């Protein structure tokens, strides 16, 4: 089976098509997503997940979820659970194929024994420091360990002793006997097993020796009959070693294909750096909406579909690139535009009194829930004499290209009436505008003028007496620099964006939002998409701004073109 897509094939799918054409695996396609359970998944992992699960799906194959749990010192059950949850959230399913490298510990050990018997592995007593010294450098060959030529019998006995817990951590290792002068450092007698008296989240303390990733990964793929083992570029140097193990053992040989990991502007995507952000308190946790973790993005309001679309659009290649975060946000808006119900909310309220509107009068105005989806229907929004509009929507001295409200100017209140600003009320001491006195034209009910006259702007609003109070959290990029990793001196924390979070404690939202539930996403008209935060209570809704709408006026103003 070969796959044609609307977009051109990437080099990985090309390889698979070719393998299928030549019958390399009998047309079988079997991939796997192999996370280490030592942290939370982020957008970079999403790229790999979409690739592996996506390819399996396209070729009618399978994709396993396999935890690379070979280092009990760093791994935890909590991460295993979180990873499963996140992969499911993205919309992928591994059926009953949930595997663990630790499932194969006994087999791996037997293979190690086999290599010892073949004279291809030995127990080495060098300390970690000595191993480093003996390894040589990039340009100079290493030296052979004095323990390299122990007899098979002695090696077997020592290996058993290691497994039986007779030696302290770090005192010995099992090493492959390859070539200490090899130009590829990974081939200079790499460690296969190390002694670690640690409790493993799955195997408890059944083991006190653990295989290294290098000795485990290729064989795990082999056991699962993975046809295409897709991984990131840094493992390219390891491929000869995996091949060596597979060949020595004479077992099924998956094909490893390496691609470039994702980088995104204005963010960092390494587990170590994300951990620092959390530990040093630069963010509120792994699910902080500013984090590029899947949990953070979920809380922020990202949809699985938006992320999957993004992963498809960025493509796959071997070039080390950095994707513009604008593309991610574009995919987000594209998806949210289709699905998010519209609603009116005023973030920075300015009080407006409609002088000629009856005192105590209330009307229910009909509003469209989603112009992109006629099936979403309509709702009623209460209108009354005292309203709030956005402070940004009024200028006492409007620049040329400012279309919104100004003294003497008429605008439309969405789904309601045309109103004209008659008077500006200011605080006598500060001079701050505190209220606008307006009049409305009763003939424009619903927002259209029977005489056909036009207004240049439509403003969103809420009725003061009916609005619900809400807290809104505005987010911006976590870093001020597009390449935070490249800033000098102290590194990426030097360019943390001090304005990455702005909390507006008292905003007003229309009453239809009363039953809103955590993680629901709305478009606040003219402002952006907002997601209900789990911090919400029945007293007070809390919203996260997922992403703004494209804002032409902001662009004009920022470019200094407001008056031209």
Partner RNA sequence: UGGGGAAUGGUGUAAUGGCAGCACGACUGACUCUGGAUCAGUUAGUCUAGGUUCGAAUCCUAGUUCCCCAGCCA
Residues 140-169 that bind RNA (CB under 7 A): 169
* DSSP code per residue over 515-536: T--TT-EEEETTTEEEEE-TT-
The one segment of 273-281, 487-495, 512-520, 550-558 that binds RNA by CB under 7 A: 550-558
| Residue of 44, 61, 190, 349 interacting with RNA (CB under 7 A) | 190
Q: Nearest-CA neighbor of 528 among 314, 300, 283, 266?
A: 300
Contact call for residue 15 and RNA (CB under 7 A)? no
Contact status: 483 vs RNA (CB under 7 A): no
How many residues of this chain bind RNA (CB under 7 A)?
Answer: 96
Q: Is 18 a catalytic residue?
A: no
- Kindly list the distances between the CA atom of residue 527 and the CA atoms of 158, 214, 415, 505, in Å, as whole numbers in the listed order: 68, 50, 17, 17
Task: Tell me the β-bridge partners of 437.
Answer: 353, 423
Tell me how long the chain is. 564
For residue 271, indicate whether it is catalytic.
yes
Residue numbers 493-532 binding RNA by CB under 7 A: 523, 525-526
Of 216 and 541, the one with the shorter C-beta distance to RNA is 216
In the bound state with RNA, the residue whose beta carbon lies nearer, of 231 and 288, is 231
In angstroms, what is the minimal distance from the CB of 238 to RNA?
6
97 token code pair: 């194929």
In 164-287, where does DSSP find H-type helix? 213-223, 239-249, 271-279
| Cβ proximity to RNA, 103 vs 214, nearer residue | 214
Q: Which residues are within 8 A (CB) of 379 and not within 5 positions of it... i.e. 6 or more apart?
A: 366, 367, 369, 512
Which of 128, 165, 358, 377: binder of RNA (CB under 7 A)? 128
Nearer to RNA, 101 or 278 (CB): 101
Provide the b/e sequence for 526-556 (b: ≥16 CB within 10 Å).
Answer: bbbbbbbbeebeeeebbbbbbbbbeeebeeb
Which residue of the set 13, 194, 239, 271 is catalytic? 271
Q: What is the DSSP letter of 167?
A: S
CA atoms within 13 A on the CB side of 218: 26
The minimum distance between CB 375 and RNA, in angstroms, equals 15
Q: Does 172 bind RNA (CB under 7 A)?
A: yes
Q: Which of 241, 225, 233 is nearest to 176 (CA)?
A: 241
Mask of contacts with RNA, 209-248, x by CB under 7 A?
A: -x-xxx--x---------------xxxxxx----------
In the complex, minimum distance from the CB of residue 368 to RNA, in angstroms, rounded to a whole number = 8
With CA atoms as reference, report the closest residue to 249 among 287, 223, 274, 231.
223
Residue 223 or residue 288: which is nearer to RNA going by CB?
223
Rounded Cα gap, residues 397 and 60, in angstroms? 64
Choose, by CB under 7 A, the member of 5, 14, 149, 355 that binds RNA: 14
Binders in 450-479 for RNA, by CB under 7 A: 457-460
Residues 55-114 that bind RNA (CB under 7 A): 68, 70-71, 73-74
Binding status of residue 32 toward RNA by CB under 7 A: no
The reply on whether position 326 binds RNA by CB under 7 A is yes
Q: Of residues 261, 380, 395, 445, which has the active-site annotation? A: 261
User: Which residues make beta-bridge pairs with 33?
Assistant: 65
Given 3-state DSSP classes, what are the helix, strand and coil percentages for the chain, each rounded to the nearest 5?
30, 25, 45
Residue closer to RNA by CB (options 127, 540) is: 127
Q: Which of residues 328-387 bind RNA (CB under 7 A)?
A: 330, 333-334, 337, 342, 370-372
The catalytic residue positions are: 36, 261, 271
């Amino acid at each position: 089976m070969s796959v044609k897509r609307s977009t051109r094939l990437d080099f990985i799918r090309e390889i698979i098509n070719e393998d299928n054409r030549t019958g390399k695996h009998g047309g079988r396609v079997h991939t796997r997503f192999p996370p280490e359970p030592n942290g939370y998944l982020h957008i970079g992992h999403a790229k790999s997940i979409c690739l592996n699960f996506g390819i399996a799906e396209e070729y009618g194959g399978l994709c396993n979820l396999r935890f690379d749990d070979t280092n009990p010192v760093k791994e935890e059950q909590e991460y295993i659970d979180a990873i499963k949850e996140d992969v499911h959230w993205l919309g992928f399913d591994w059926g009953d194929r949930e595997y663990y490298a630790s499932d194969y510990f006994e087999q791996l050990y037997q293979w190690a024994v086999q290599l010892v018997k073949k004279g291809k592995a030995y127990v080495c007593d060098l300390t970690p420091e000595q191993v480093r010294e003996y390894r040589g450098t990039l340009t100079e060959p290493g030296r052979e360990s004095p323990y390299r030529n122990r007899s098979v019998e002695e090696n077997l006995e020592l290996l058993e002793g290691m497994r039986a817990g007779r030696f302290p951590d770090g005192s010995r290792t099992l090493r492959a006997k390859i070539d200490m002068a090899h130009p590829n450092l990974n081939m200079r007698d790499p460690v296969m097993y190390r002694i670690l008296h640690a409790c493993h989240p799955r195997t408890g303390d059944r083991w006190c020796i653990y295989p290294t990733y290098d000795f485990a990964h290729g064989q795990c793929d082999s056991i699962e009959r993975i046809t295409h083992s897709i991984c990131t570029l840094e493992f390219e140097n390891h491929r000869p070693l995996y091949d060596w193990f597979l060949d020595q053992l004479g077992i099924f040989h998956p094909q490893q294909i390496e691609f470039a990991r994702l980088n995104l502007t204005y963010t960092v995507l390494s587990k170590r750096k994300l951990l620092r952000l959390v530990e040093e308190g630069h963010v509120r946790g792994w699910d902080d909406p500013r984090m590029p973790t899947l949990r953070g993005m979920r809380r922020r309001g990202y949809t699985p579909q938006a992320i999957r679309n993004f992963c498809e659009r960025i493509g796959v290649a071997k070039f080390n690139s950095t994707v513009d975060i604008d593309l991610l946000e574009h995919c987000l808006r594209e998806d949210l535009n289709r699905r998010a119900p519209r609603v009116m909310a005023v973030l920075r309220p300015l009080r407006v009194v409609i002088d000629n509107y009856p005192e105590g009068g209330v009307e229910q105005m009909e509003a469209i829930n989603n112009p992109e989806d006629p099936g979403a229907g309509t709702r009623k929004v209460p209108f009354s004499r005292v309203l709030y509009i956005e402070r940004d929507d009024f200028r006492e001295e409007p620049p040329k290209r400012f279309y919104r409200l100004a003294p003497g100017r008429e605008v439309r209140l969405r789904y309601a009436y045309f109103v004209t600003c008659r008077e500006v009320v200011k605080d006598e001491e500060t001079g701050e505008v505190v209220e606008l006195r307006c009049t409305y034209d009763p003939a424009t009910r619903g927002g259209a003028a029977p005489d056909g006259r036009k207004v240049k702007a439509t403003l969103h609003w809420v009725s003061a007496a009916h609005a619900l109070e809400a807290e809104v959290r505005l987010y911006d990029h976590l870093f001020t620099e597009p390449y935070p990793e490249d800033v000098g001196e102290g590194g990426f924390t030097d360019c943390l964006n001090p304005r990455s979070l702005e909390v507006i404690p008292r905003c007003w939202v229309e009453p239809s939002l009363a039953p809103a539930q955590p993680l629901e996403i709305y478009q606040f008209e003219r402002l952006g998409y907002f997601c209900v935060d789990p911090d919400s209570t029945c007293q007070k809704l809390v919203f996260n701004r997922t992403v703004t709408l494209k804002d032409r006026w902001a662009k004009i103003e920022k470019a200094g073109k407001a008056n031209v």
